[in-house]
Structure 1
Amino acid sequence: MNLEYIKNNKLFKVLLNFLNNNIDIILFFTLICIKVMSYARNISSSYLSGLVFFPIAASALILVSFSLIFKKKSRVTFLYIADVVVSLILIADLMYYRYFKDITTLAAVKNAKLLQGVSDSVGSVANIKDLYYLLDIFILLPAVRFYKRRIKNIKPISKRLVSFLAMFILGASVNAAIFRWVSKVQPTLLTAMSNRIYLTTMIGNINFHMVDSYNYISTSVKNSKKLSEDRENEIKNFLENNNKSTGEINLKGEAEGKNLIVIQVEALQNFVINQKVNGQEITPNLNRWVNKCMYFDNYFYQVAGGNTSDAEFMSNNSLYPAQSGSAYYTYSGNKYDSLASALKDKNYYTAAMHGNSEGFWNRNVMYKAQNFDDFFGEHSFNIDEKIGLGLSDKSFLNQSLEKLKSFKEPYYGFLVTLTSHFPYEAVDKYGEFDVGEYEGTFIGKYLKAIHYTDAQLGEFLDALEQQGIMDNSVIALYGDHFAIPKDNAEELFKFENEEESDDFTWFKYQKVPLLLHFPQDEYAGVNHKYSCQMDLYPTLANLYNLPRNYMFGKDMLNGDDEKVIFRNGSFIDGKNLYVSWTNTYYSLESGEKINETEELKEEKNQYTKELQYCDDLLNHNLIKTFTEKK
């Protein structure tokens, strides 16, 4: 068979003609599939199934189908623009994942203005390798112009519509089958989107954003309607049962009438407590105070897209973070039965303090919604030393101490530190701390940053003690969220001499310290109970003899419940860990994987339902409804 015969063969001519007329479609389809598969590997390399190719291909077909409506030149332009848009979305999603360990949603985009001022953080999660997603765009630009000049024949609109419908139906049919399978394997995952990473690895990035858009719009429409009375009663009954006394009264009312000072520390993770680097204590001051406090060493952060603001939200309200985005923005118009509000009912003066701009994370609005009497933000402080995002912790804590001394007693002071904020590069010139072999690494920079903040916290706590403020005050100090992103997990595991690098090992380090200090160092000791940020308010409610009406957390000082539910659907029940994005269970005692039992499956469904209860409560402002009906 010679070359001339092949050229004259009718089948070859048909194939060549097809390729010539559809090279733009074939190329776009191939590039999109490669890029989205590459993205999926970046966020889930350890558990990515090859089956994800089918929904990725289906979503690419749906995109291609819309181009078939246009005339040939416009079709090429449409596909090129679609390639640019998809590539930019993938890069944005990768950067968001590196910082938040989550997938970008419409609600998160709506909150984008709340991220002003963290350009250093965003820049630090950018990666030169991300340009890979844009490489073809630059290479293809001259080829697109050349190809468009060669286009001559134009199909009539009737044929273009038939081609569109055929390809759209093919892609939609594959997607429908995939979505049906996902609904069977993980009921409510497509609607609740409780685990966005796992969902993305099952249906692909393009499909995820289509589902997210549909859910966002449908939820907005649904939430504009009144919730059914049956659903309201179901949620109310759950809260009543959840907030019932366990019958035990450990330390009930112990802090009644005393001042309350709560300190939320930026990026304070538990692994640095009582740990050394290069022979030096990382947090010598907190280590000293741990021995004077009730120290919870199995206290987990539960933040989602709202990060620091989520930690504030949970600690002051015992409500789960928003399903997507930040509750501090989305639900700032709601009524809350907050810690500040409950203490105000007992004639406490309440104030929040933070050395950043008042509008950051919408705090100026949200603190009012939570019934704080005053918010002392950037304009209430003398900005005499600025490090990183705002006022240095040293100056902030010194000035906050003077404010506390001026408050009318009893009071509740809520302080949020700032200097140890990611990416931990701002404190290098403020005090030497030799991190040895970790110099210049991500974790080395963090150790320097948290060592600096530890020094300022030590001075602040010592001053509270020396000036007698602690004699009539309870202090709660905790970390707000992770310090080491999952992208840098290997550095953390190396630092901790961990041989394993699985999800169980990762979860072991997703703890933040909680220190509760009582006058005269009473009740000092270590509490190993599994607990979380949702539990702080119920525990303080017990200590201050406050009512418990609308809390999803538990009192850490009473009862034996060790439930910890994370916004992504993962949970701890005191004996087991469930990792939602791989649908895997681990024994907390052995760290070994275990099989799902009917009991564990029921537990998982119940915890998913609990997250949905809180979503409904927030979406429909039910605390306002419940209080008005009393």
Structure 2
Amino acid sequence: MSSHLKKCRDFLNTKFGFFLLVILLFWIKIYYAYRTYFTLGAKGGVQQFLLLINPVPAALLIFGIALYFNGNLSYWLMIIIDALESIWIFANILYYREFSDFLSVGIIKGSGAAGNNLSKSLSSIMHPSDFLVFLDVLILILLLLFKIIKVDHRKFSKRNAFAMTVVSLVLMFAEFGMSNANRSGLLTRTFDNNYIVKYLGFNEYAAFNAYQTHKESATRTKAKPKDIKKVLKFINQHRTKPNIQYYGKAKGKNVFIIHLESFQQFLINYRVHGRLVTPNIDKFYHNDHTIAFDNFYHQVSQGKTSDAEMMLENSLFGLPQGSAMVTYGTQNTYQAAPAFLDQHGYSTAALHGDVPSFWNRDNTYKSWGYQYFFDSKYYKEKPSYNVGYGLKDKIFFKDASKYIQRLPQPFYAKLITLTNHYPYLLDKQNRSFPATKTGDKTVDPYVQTAHYLDQAFGEFLHYLHKTGLDKNSVVVAYGDHYGISNNHRPAIAQLLHKSNINSYDLAQFQKVPFMINYRGLQGKIDHTYGGEIDVLPTLMHLLGYKDNNTVQFGNDLLSNHRNQIVAFRNGNFVTPKFTVMGSDVYLTKTGKKIKPNAQQEKEIKADRHYVDEELSLSDQVIYGDLLRFYKPKGFKKVNKKDYNYKPSYGLKKLKEANHKKHTSLIDKNHGHSITYDTDAPELK
């Protein structure tokens, strides 16, 4: 036995022996991370095998770099590489825990624009066990420092080092061949990063993502005017006619867009200990003048709220990686709702209680044609007024009212709430609702901040009624994205009162409320299937504007004959008949998992083709900045130089606009401000 141990130790005291030890520990670490921190959905023997071996080829290639060097440098180079890899894995563990996705170049590049208060989120996301990914680095350092393993100073043959490089590349190509055979079009058709990591591994994903980012930046340069033609062809083939019952029903009316931060559909009529979580939103949902959609899904990816805004204002999808607002918000040409309505006599304003640079809003909103952006600089700030990512909702709505009163009518005003944002922080004086008891510290406070948002929303509705704005305004309220990610399955099962959940349940859990309220509407619960991409054409038809020549990938939710395929950003989709999650197919009405027959397979194949084409063409519009080549009839291109959101400039412009039009609420009230009622304890 001792002779075997001596041989083993002697082998580890060679450079190649240490190299293989590093590879082994790294391999164990990656596979442990796959199984512990990520939900990659490896099914069947082939996928399980690929998940097991996919760390090896890239590890041989990357760590093999150290074999070209000699002495101490070679050993410490392996440890440095391992440490950098560990940081990359650690960062992805934290990111995946909240977003169910992997870090991308776009997200990293945009971290400055979306990094406000992230330290608070990280402290809530981080678990002590996460640091286990650094354990092998520590072990290797200690083995060398205490000379349990000695540095081999002999030269390692460059030929052998090169041979290792060749072996790693051969294994990598073999791995890709096996993966592509199991998942056809892995790198050409998939929109889901989970697939790339599952089949190829972390490092291959990082390399592919970097390649994609480079390719995307080159796409704009190569784009030509003819590229927009195939986009228009697709859109015109699938465009729906407005429903005569609703077309122009709200012509000339004010429009309020209320972003209900992280608000999911399951909260509607949801009770905790017998109490309704959101009584005001529930009442609004069931109002006699509200059309509420109960099969409406968020369709965001890594950009989350920014993706929701992109769809809402432009009927363009967010990107598969990163945030389109961050990467393409400044340079691209858009034909967004604010610019269109501005050119039809509307005042347009976005109101938000956070810094203007978050998601690059201060630049993107100029590209979209917003006349005003009332960001955090416009509101009185005290430490007690803020929580998490910005101004508390009750205080935000109250402070926003003074600018709403001064907007010349008709206006288009978007108000973005914040308090119901992860990690769901709320001080004791504002907590008036019990937390759930799933045992998941991330999930349990969610209903508390949702209840606070509901109270703030109720106060705002009271203000609209008090001022009479409710008689002359369309109020659109919707949940911008999920609040509880799919990584909290045990807690989700408890919230849904189920013993366990599957992919179908998680797909349905992505529903968010979408509600349109106006005194002239006959209220109902509409069961049509749709998503955030459909908001803009729906709103435009209500206001009496046809979308005959616009580039909008959505369809009017109120049209009688509309396409009801809801595309998710990763290529999965839901229709009234099927819920397709990867290779799993469920009947949407019952949730029963099926093996499709020939006819069903044909329908699913056609739906999948539509989804792939829709997502691909939308991406081409953004990557290639194709709207610069297309001018819809009657639309004037936005000049970003016309906008300045600094308070001194914005307030001056608002004052000048009121002198010209005299249509603001405060003008109609003979110059008197109307008091906003709130029970916010910070203001007492």
The answer to whether TM tops 0.5 is yes
Structure 1 residues 192 and 120: alpha-carbon distance in aligned structure 2, compared to 1, 3 A threshold = farther
SS of 1:382's equivalent? coil
Provide the residue aligned with 1:319 in structure 2.
316
Deviations 1:390-418 (A, max 9, x none): 21111111122232222111110111011
Structure 1 residues 427 and 241: alpha-carbon distance in aligned structure 2, compared to 1, 3 A threshold = farther
* Contact 1:427/1:448 (8 A) holds in 2: no
Q: Residue 284 of structure 1: CA displacement?
A: 0.8
Q: Which deviates further from its counterpart, 119-128 or 271-280?
A: 119-128
CA distance in 2, matches of 1:228, 1:437: 56
Provide the residue aligned with 2:573 in structure 1.
571
Provide the residue aligned with 1:378 in structure 2.
376
CA distance in 2, matches of 1:258, 1:628: 24
Structure 1 residues 108 and 471: alpha-carbon distance in aligned structure 2, compared to 1, 3 A threshold = same
Provide the residue aligned with 2:617 in structure 1.
613
Q: Residue 228 of structure 1: CA displacement?
A: 5.1
Q: Which deviates further from its counterpart, 483-492 or 18-27?
A: 18-27
- 1:586 maps to a residue whose letter is Y
- 1:24 maps to a residue whose letter is F
* Contact 2:50/2:179 (8 A) holds in 1: no
For 1:589-608, list aligned pairs within 5 A. Answer: 589-595=589-595, 597-608=601-612
1:266 and 2:266 correspond = no
* Contact 1:54/1:174 (8 A) holds in 2: no
Structure 1 residues 282 and 18: alpha-carbon distance in aligned structure 2, compared to 1, 3 A threshold = closer
Provide the residue aligned with 1:551 in structure 2.
552
For 1:386-425, list aligned pairs within 5 A. Answer: 386-425=386-425
Q: Residue 369 of structure 1: CA displacement?
A: 0.8
1:227 and 2:228 correspond = no
- 2:93 maps to a residue whose letter is L
Provide the residue aligned with 2:527 in structure 1.
528
SS of 1:443's equivalent? coil
SS of 1:34's equivalent? helix
Provide the residue aligned with 1:429 in structure 2.
429
Provide the residue aligned with 1:100 in structure 2.
99
* Contact 1:299/1:532 (8 A) holds in 2: yes
1:26 and 2:26 correspond = no
Q: Which deviates further from its counterpart, 390-399 or 588-597?
A: 588-597
* Contact 2:419/2:425 (8 A) holds in 1: no
1:541 and 2:545 correspond = no
CA distance in 2, matches of 1:3, 1:295: 75
* Contact 1:428/1:448 (8 A) holds in 2: no
Structure 1 residues 192 and 331: alpha-carbon distance in aligned structure 2, compared to 1, 3 A threshold = farther
* Contact 1:303/1:321 (8 A) holds in 2: yes
**Aligned counterpart for 1:342 among listed residues 340, 356, 361:** 340
CA distance in 1, matches of 2:243, 2:219: 39
* Contact 1:273/1:286 (8 A) holds in 2: yes
Q: Residue 542 of structure 1: CA displacement?
A: 0.9
**Aligned counterpart for 1:196 among listed residues 180, 193, 196:** 193
For 1:56-455, list aligned pairs within 5 A. Answer: 56-113=55-112, 114-147=114-147, 150-151=150-151, 153-155=153-155, 159-160=157-158, 162-191=159-188, 194-220=191-217, 222-227=218-223, 231-242=227-238, 244-246=239-241, 248-292=243-287, 293-332=290-329, 333-383=331-381, 385-435=385-435, 437=437, 441-455=441-455
CA distance in 1, matches of 2:240, 2:389: 42
* Contact 2:347/2:371 (8 A) holds in 1: yes
1:36 and 2:30 correspond = yes
Structure 1 residues 533 and 20: alpha-carbon distance in aligned structure 2, compared to 1, 3 A threshold = same
* Contact 1:269/1:511 (8 A) holds in 2: yes
The structure in which a higher percent of residues are helix is 1
CA distance in 1, matches of 2:572, 2:304: 17
1:460 and 2:454 correspond = no
* Contact 2:223/2:626 (8 A) holds in 1: no
Deviations 1:564-616 (A, max 9, x none): 11111111122111113xx2221112212223513312322331122111111
Unmatched 5+ stretches in structure 2: 635-684
CA distance in 2, matches of 1:24, 1:17: 8
- 2:343 maps to a residue whose letter is D
Q: Which deviates further from its counterpart, 617-626 or 20-29?
A: 20-29
Structure 1 residues 89 and 177: alpha-carbon distance in aligned structure 2, compared to 1, 3 A threshold = same
CA distance in 2, matches of 1:175, 1:91: 24
Q: Residue 297 of structure 1: CA displacement?
A: 1.3
* Contact 1:353/1:413 (8 A) holds in 2: yes
RMSD: 2.5
Provide the residue aligned with 2:642 in structure 1.
none
Deviations 1:188-213 (A, max 9, x none): 43146510012211111122112222
Structure 1 residues 224 and 451: alpha-carbon distance in aligned structure 2, compared to 1, 3 A threshold = closer
CA distance in 2, matches of 1:440, 1:504: 22
* Contact 1:318/1:535 (8 A) holds in 2: yes
* Contact 1:311/1:481 (8 A) holds in 2: yes
CA distance in 1, matches of 2:150, 2:539: 74
Deviations 1:120-163 (A, max 9, x none): 1122111111111112222322322355994454326xx22x11
Provide the residue aligned with 2:637 in structure 1.
none
1:625 and 2:629 correspond = yes
Unmatched 5+ stretches in structure 1: none
Q: Residue 16 of structure 1: CA displacement?
A: 4.8
Structure 1 residues 13 and 451: alpha-carbon distance in aligned structure 2, compared to 1, 3 A threshold = closer
Q: Residue 182 of structure 1: CA displacement?
A: 3.3
CA distance in 2, matches of 1:545, 1:383: 40
Q: Residue 227 of structure 1: CA displacement?
A: 2.4
Structure 1 residues 466 and 438: alpha-carbon distance in aligned structure 2, compared to 1, 3 A threshold = farther
Deviations 1:253-299 (A, max 9, x none): 11111111110011111111111111111101111111211111111
- 2:604 maps to a residue whose letter is L
CA distance in 1, matches of 2:224, 2:184: 22
Q: Which deviates further from its counterpart, 428-437 or 338-347?
A: 428-437
CA distance in 1, matches of 2:632, 2:535: 26
SS of 1:408's equivalent? coil
* Contact 1:329/1:362 (8 A) holds in 2: yes
Q: Residue 25 of structure 1: CA displacement?
A: 0.7
SS of 2:222's equivalent? coil
CA distance in 2, matches of 1:624, 1:55: 42
Q: Residue 215 of structure 1: CA displacement?
A: 2.3
TM-score, normalised to structure 1, is 0.92
SS of 2:443's equivalent? helix
Structure 1 residues 149 and 299: alpha-carbon distance in aligned structure 2, compared to 1, 3 A threshold = closer
Structure 1 residues 166 and 599: alpha-carbon distance in aligned structure 2, compared to 1, 3 A threshold = farther
* Contact 2:336/2:368 (8 A) holds in 1: yes
CA distance in 2, matches of 1:565, 1:423: 28
Structure 1 residues 145 and 629: alpha-carbon distance in aligned structure 2, compared to 1, 3 A threshold = farther
CA distance in 1, matches of 2:332, 2:40: 40
Deviations 1:474-523 (A, max 9, x none): 11000111111223232121122113311111112111111100126x32
Structure 1 residues 165 and 436: alpha-carbon distance in aligned structure 2, compared to 1, 3 A threshold = closer
TM-score, normalised to structure 2, is 0.85
SS of 2:14's equivalent? helix
CA distance in 2, matches of 1:190, 1:629: 38
For 1:513-524, list aligned pairs within 5 A. Answer: 513-519=513-519, 522-524=521-523
